Amino acid sequence: MGSDNGDGNNPAQCRVREVLDLVADKWSLYTVSYLGDGPRRFTELKRGIDGISQRMLTVTLRGLERDGILIRTVYQVMPPHVAYELTPMGKSLLPATAPLIEWTSQHLARIDQAREEYDKRSLAQPLAVAR
Protein backbone atom coordinates (compact mmCIF):
# COMPACT_ATOMS: atom_id res chain seq x y z
CA MET A 1 0.00 0.00 0.00
CA GLY A 2 1.48 3.25 -1.07
CA SER A 3 4.29 1.40 -2.81
CA ASP A 4 2.20 1.52 -5.96
CA ASN A 5 2.64 5.26 -6.03
CA GLY A 6 5.92 5.20 -7.88
CA ASP A 7 4.24 6.87 -10.81
CA GLY A 8 3.87 10.54 -10.06
CA ASN A 9 0.65 12.08 -11.38
CA ASN A 10 -1.67 9.54 -12.93
CA PRO A 11 -5.38 9.91 -13.62
CA ALA A 12 -6.30 6.75 -11.71
CA GLN A 13 -4.86 8.14 -8.48
CA CYS A 14 -6.80 11.31 -9.06
CA ARG A 15 -10.03 9.35 -9.43
CA VAL A 16 -9.37 7.41 -6.26
CA ARG A 17 -8.88 10.65 -4.40
CA GLU A 18 -12.07 12.03 -5.87
CA VAL A 19 -14.19 9.13 -4.65
CA LEU A 20 -12.29 9.03 -1.39
CA ASP A 21 -13.26 12.62 -0.86
CA LEU A 22 -16.91 11.62 -0.98
CA VAL A 23 -16.88 8.38 0.92
CA ALA A 24 -14.28 9.37 3.50
CA ASP A 25 -15.74 12.51 4.96
CA LYS A 26 -16.88 12.50 8.55
CA TRP A 27 -20.59 12.43 7.87
CA SER A 28 -20.51 9.68 5.26
CA LEU A 29 -18.29 7.45 7.35
CA TYR A 30 -20.51 7.83 10.35
CA THR A 31 -23.74 7.45 8.42
CA VAL A 32 -22.59 4.26 6.75
CA SER A 33 -21.39 2.77 10.00
CA TYR A 34 -24.66 3.76 11.61
CA LEU A 35 -26.63 1.93 8.93
CA GLY A 36 -24.54 -1.17 9.56
CA ASP A 37 -27.12 -2.51 11.99
CA GLY A 38 -29.98 -2.31 9.52
CA PRO A 39 -32.47 0.12 7.97
CA ARG A 40 -33.05 3.43 9.70
CA ARG A 41 -35.47 6.28 9.25
CA PHE A 42 -34.51 9.90 8.64
CA THR A 43 -35.23 11.06 12.16
CA GLU A 44 -33.45 8.10 13.68
CA LEU A 45 -30.32 9.02 11.75
CA LYS A 46 -30.63 12.66 12.69
CA ARG A 47 -30.86 11.80 16.35
CA GLY A 48 -28.18 9.13 16.18
CA ILE A 49 -25.49 11.05 14.34
CA ASP A 50 -24.87 13.81 16.78
CA GLY A 51 -24.03 17.26 15.52
CA ILE A 52 -25.42 16.75 12.04
CA SER A 53 -27.96 19.22 10.70
CA GLN A 54 -30.91 18.01 8.69
CA ARG A 55 -29.47 19.71 5.66
CA MET A 56 -26.14 17.87 5.87
CA LEU A 57 -27.95 14.62 6.58
CA THR A 58 -30.05 15.07 3.47
CA VAL A 59 -27.03 16.00 1.36
CA THR A 60 -25.01 13.08 2.70
CA LEU A 61 -27.81 10.58 2.17
CA ARG A 62 -28.39 11.80 -1.39
CA GLY A 63 -24.71 11.45 -2.21
CA LEU A 64 -24.52 7.95 -0.79
CA GLU A 65 -27.69 7.00 -2.63
CA ARG A 66 -26.27 8.37 -5.86
CA ASP A 67 -23.11 6.34 -5.40
CA GLY A 68 -25.14 3.18 -4.93
CA ILE A 69 -24.10 2.75 -1.31
CA LEU A 70 -27.58 2.94 0.16
CA ILE A 71 -31.15 2.82 -1.09
CA ARG A 72 -33.95 5.11 -0.13
CA THR A 73 -37.45 3.70 0.16
CA VAL A 74 -40.50 5.93 0.44
CA TYR A 75 -43.73 4.56 1.91
CA GLN A 76 -46.63 6.68 0.81
CA VAL A 77 -48.49 7.02 4.09
CA MET A 78 -49.39 9.72 6.51
CA PRO A 79 -47.24 10.62 8.24
CA PRO A 80 -44.49 9.98 5.67
CA HIS A 81 -42.13 7.07 6.23
CA VAL A 82 -38.73 6.89 4.55
CA ALA A 83 -36.24 4.10 5.18
CA TYR A 84 -32.55 4.06 4.35
CA GLU A 85 -30.57 0.86 4.13
CA LEU A 86 -27.23 -0.22 2.77
CA THR A 87 -26.95 -1.90 -0.60
CA PRO A 88 -24.65 -4.93 -0.95
CA MET A 89 -21.92 -2.54 -2.06
CA GLY A 90 -22.64 -0.39 0.99
CA LYS A 91 -22.34 -3.40 3.25
CA SER A 92 -19.00 -4.26 1.66
CA LEU A 93 -17.86 -0.80 2.68
CA LEU A 94 -18.47 -1.47 6.36
CA PRO A 95 -15.39 -3.61 7.05
CA ALA A 96 -13.33 -1.00 5.19
CA THR A 97 -14.43 1.89 7.39
CA ALA A 98 -14.60 0.06 10.71
CA PRO A 99 -10.82 -0.10 11.25
CA LEU A 100 -10.49 3.64 10.78
CA ILE A 101 -13.29 4.46 13.20
CA GLU A 102 -11.94 2.00 15.71
CA TRP A 103 -8.40 3.35 15.39
CA THR A 104 -9.67 6.88 15.95
CA SER A 105 -11.56 6.06 19.12
CA GLN A 106 -8.62 4.08 20.45
CA HIS A 107 -6.10 6.87 19.86
CA LEU A 108 -8.15 9.84 21.03
CA ALA A 109 -6.21 10.26 24.26
CA ARG A 110 -2.77 9.96 22.65
CA ILE A 111 -3.69 12.47 19.97
CA ASP A 112 -4.90 14.95 22.56
CA GLN A 113 -1.64 14.48 24.41
CA ALA A 114 0.43 14.94 21.25
CA ARG A 115 -1.43 18.15 20.47
CA GLU A 116 -0.80 19.63 23.87
CA GLU A 117 2.90 18.87 23.64
CA TYR A 118 3.10 20.27 20.14
CA ASP A 119 1.36 23.48 21.13
CA LYS A 120 3.63 23.85 24.14
CA ARG A 121 6.73 23.33 22.00
CA SER A 122 5.54 25.83 19.41
CA LEU A 123 5.38 28.51 22.07
CA ALA A 124 8.83 27.71 23.44
CA GLN A 125 10.87 27.37 20.26
CA PRO A 126 9.93 28.82 16.89
CA LEU A 127 11.42 25.82 15.07
CA ALA A 128 12.81 22.39 15.92
CA VAL A 129 16.13 21.76 14.22
CA ALA A 130 18.02 18.50 13.66
CA ARG A 131 21.78 18.38 13.95
Peptide bond into 79 cis (omega under 30): yes
**Between 40 and 93, CB nearer to DNA:** 40
The residues that bridge with 107 in the sheet, in sequence order, are none
* 90 within 8 A of 23, measured Cβ to Cβ: no
Interaction partner, residue 89 (DNA, its own copies, none; CB < 5-8 Å by kind): its own copies
Say whether residue 59 binds its own copies (CB under 8 A): no
Report the nearest approach of its own copies to the CB of residue 18 (Å). 8
Whats the size of the chain, residue-wise?
131
Q: How many chain residues touch its own copies (CB under 8 A)?
A: 70
* Contact pick of 8, 123, 124, 125 for its own copies (by CB under 8 A): 8
- Amino acid letter, residue 61: L
Q: Binding mask 35-74 vs DNA (x if CB under 7 A, - otherwise)?
A: ------xxxx------xxxxxx-xx-xx---------x--
Q: Is 73 helix (H, G, I), strand (E, B) or coil?
A: strand
DSSP for 26-59?
HHHHHHHHHGGGS-EEHHHHHHHSTT--HHHHHH
| Residues forming the site for DNA (CB under 7 A) | 25, 41-44, 51-56, 58-59, 61-62, 72, 79-82, 84
